[in-house]
Chains A and B, each alone.
Chain A
Amino acid sequence: MIATIFFYLFAAVAIASAVMVVTARNPVHSVLFLILTFFNAAGLFLLLGAEFLAMMLVVVYVGAVAVLFLFVVMMLDVNFVELRQGMLKYWPIGAVVGLIVLGELALALVTWNINPNALVTAPVAAASGVSNTEALGLLLYTRYIYFFQAAGLVLLTAMIGAIVLTLRHKANVKRQVIADQVARSPATAVEIRNINPGQGI
């Protein structure tokens, strides 16, 4: 009963905030609604009993990826009037793309035979008493270890690519040498002189 109420609550807020992501005028508000959508999706995962996935969604997407979005969007200097002007010119293309996607979705959903049992039986935790954190770990690190490593390599490549694209070593720039700074002692930094009154150095 409570689970049903929460399901409809999370689902309704997720859909409403997803609509707001597209319709909000201010891009920062869009990102904030996107975060609300992620958060409600995590709530739906919790209701399914996938607590590990729910927490990972919040930690990775909400905690890291969406913060980057927010940084980028806040830094952008967006001219809203200019955006509005483009709207009129591009809406036919947008409408065509939307219609094609809608048609494809309709085709797929109409021909999709849903197993009637799948709707009745909600997924339950494995009876063996293994929590889903352990179950995921066992699968990922045994059966799918090569795929897991391959995914890691793809991410590593992307990271190196991003660093190579943005890192520029300018010549003639004085850089910090941390070791020198740490090794500096009062003896090398300060000179104490005894100056008589009325005389300069």
Chain B
Amino acid sequence: MNAWFETYPWLFPTFVIVGILAGVLISTAVLIYGERKIWAAVHMRRGPNVVGPWGVLQPIADFLKFILKESMVPDGANKGVFLIAPLVSVILAISAWAVIPVNDGWVVANINVGILYLLAVSSLGVYGIIMAGWASNSKDPFLSALRAAAQMISYEVSIGFVIVTVLLCAGSLNLTDIVHAQDSKWGMFGWYWLPLLPMFVIFFISALAETNRPPFDLAEAESELVAGYMVEYSSSLFLLQFLTELVAILSMSSIAAVLFLGGWLPPFNVAPFTWVPGLVWFLIKAWAVVLLFSLTKVIVPRYRYDQLMRLGWKVFLPISIFYVVLVAGVLVTMGWLPK
């Protein structure tokens, strides 16, 4: 296998691209089934149990249902924007995976400004939502798009400052280098979740808001706005919107795993742990964060919109700015700045 990779230099990148793309799409199917089972378990229900053994074929049934139904475009909709919006969303959501390393060197584009690329892609993601909401030419989707956009922009600010603290400790904008910087003799206690614990908590909560997940799913608050900016979408176009949300959850969890949980690193640098391949550790960490996302959805009641804005601007922003100053000060006075 390795000999092949040396003879054909394009072979390994192709494997990585196809592997990551296939992995993300399969993971969304697993996520649909897994989340519904988790919520059902918390509610003491059965969850999907009809299609296939234990209902595991439910995602396939859902998929068929989405693509076989009739696609409808509302009469008053702005047709071009209406059709482009879900495409913009889904392409941006998947393109975030270009810089996320799933193992040492297993990354589509190992660029210098990986973190900035992620911020850029996630800030572009707002457009898919605003375009969908506006082009639907209907009140509820538009209100919901405004809410979603304001929410995503607000929480991006505090996510940005949280990332700055990580960058200060790692000394690089490259995600692979950030994981290498967490490789210390303390094993899992040297990963940034412990030294930057308050930042990890803020990152997790902001990630919930950034992906419009409960308790911050005000964009699709079904009791007030029907179901958010995708009300007018049906069939395949709705499938794309749905896929966008799921991929965003997966990529946010993976970013949390890379920035705070040491990416592909084993928890301890001793024998039984180092035998396990890095990809497996990465998957365990990313899915652990996904599990937290699902549990949060089912245990926590929804926020009010003004509370959400207050939390973002008046609580998280000052705390994260204070931590940037604190971390920088500690690193400089102790002489721990990375070279």
A interface residues (Cβ-Cβ under 8 A, vs B): 26, 28-29, 32, 35, 39, 51-52, 55-56, 58-59, 62-64, 67, 70-71, 74, 131, 133, 176, 178
Question: Hey, which chain A residues are within 8 Å of B306, CB to CB?
Answer: 176
Asked if B218 is at the interface of the complex by the 8 Å CB criterion, the answer is no
> Is B120's CB under 8 angstroms from A58's CB?
yes
Question: Hey, which chain B residues are within 8 Å of A176, CB to CB?
Answer: 306
In angstroms, Cα B177 to Cα A134, docked, is 15
In angstroms, Cα B117 to Cα A91, docked, is 43
> Is B119's CB under 8 angstroms from A55's CB?
yes
What are 30 A-B contacts defined by CB distance under 8 Å? A28-B78, A35-B127, A51-B111, A51-B113, A55-B116, A55-B117, A55-B119, A55-B120, A58-B120, A58-B124, A59-B116, A59-B119, A59-B120, A59-B123, A62-B120, A62-B124, A63-B119, A63-B120, A63-B124, A64-B123, A67-B126, A67-B149, A67-B153, A70-B127, A71-B146, A74-B130, A74-B142, A133-B112, A176-B306, A178-B310
Question: Hey, which chain B residues are within 8 Å of A26, CB to CB?
Answer: 78
In angstroms, Cα B119 to Cα A62, docked, is 12
B123 nearest in chain A by CB position: A63
Q: How far is the CB of A39 from chain B (nearest CB, A)?
A: 8
Excluding A58-B124, A74-B130, 10 further A-B contacts by CB distance (< 8 Å) are: A29-B81, A39-B124, A55-B113, A55-B119, A59-B123, A62-B123, A63-B123, A67-B130, A71-B146, A74-B142
Question: Of residues A26, A28, A35, A55, which shows the largest number of chain B Cβ atoms within 10 Å of its Cβ?
Answer: A55
Out of A35, A52, A62, A70, which one reaches B113, CB within 8 Å? A52
9 closest Cβ pairs, A-B complex: A63-B123, A55-B116, A58-B120, A131-B112, A51-B113, A59-B120, A55-B120, A55-B113, A59-B119
Asked if B261 is at the interface of the complex by the 8 Å CB criterion, the answer is no
> Is A64's CB under 8 angstroms from B81's CB?
no
> Is A58's CB under 8 angstroms from B123's CB?
yes
Query: Total number of A-B contacts with CB less than 8 angstroms?
Result: 58
Interface size class of B (residues with CB under 8 A): 20 to 34
Mostly, the B contact residues are helix
In angstroms, Cα B95 to Cα A58, docked, is 15
Mostly, the A contact residues are helix
In angstroms, Cα B96 to Cα A17, docked, is 25
Question: Hey, which chain B residues are within 8 Å of A58, CB to CB?
Answer: 120, 123-124
Question: Hey, which chain B residues are within 8 Å of A178, CB to CB?
Answer: 310
> Is B156's CB under 8 angstroms from A63's CB?
yes
Asked if B107 is at the interface of the complex by the 8 Å CB criterion, the answer is no
In angstroms, Cα B120 to Cα A55, docked, is 6
Question: Hey, which chain B residues are within 8 Å of A133, CB to CB?
Answer: 112-113, 173
Question: Of residues B81, B112, B153, which shows the largest number of chain A Cβ atoms within 10 Å of its Cβ?
Answer: B112
Q: How far is the CB of B115 from chain A (nearest CB, A)?
A: 9
Q: How far is the CB of B295 from chain A (nearest CB, A)?
A: 24
Question: Hey, which chain A residues are within 8 Å of B191, CB to CB?
Answer: none
Interface readout for B116-138 with A: 1 if CB under 8 Å, 0 if not? 11011001101100110010000
A28 nearest in chain B by CB position: B134
Question: Hey, which chain A residues are within 8 Å of B112, CB to CB?
Answer: 51, 131, 133
Question: Hey, which chain A residues are within 8 Å of B153, CB to CB?
Answer: 63-64, 67
In angstroms, Cα B310 to Cα A39, docked, is 32
In angstroms, Cα B315 to Cα A178, docked, is 12
In angstroms, Cα B120 to Cα A26, docked, is 27
Question: Hey, which chain A residues are within 8 Å of B111, CB to CB?
Answer: 51
> Is A52's CB under 8 angstroms from B116's CB?
yes
In angstroms, Cα B149 to Cα A71, docked, is 9
B306 nearest in chain A by CB position: A176
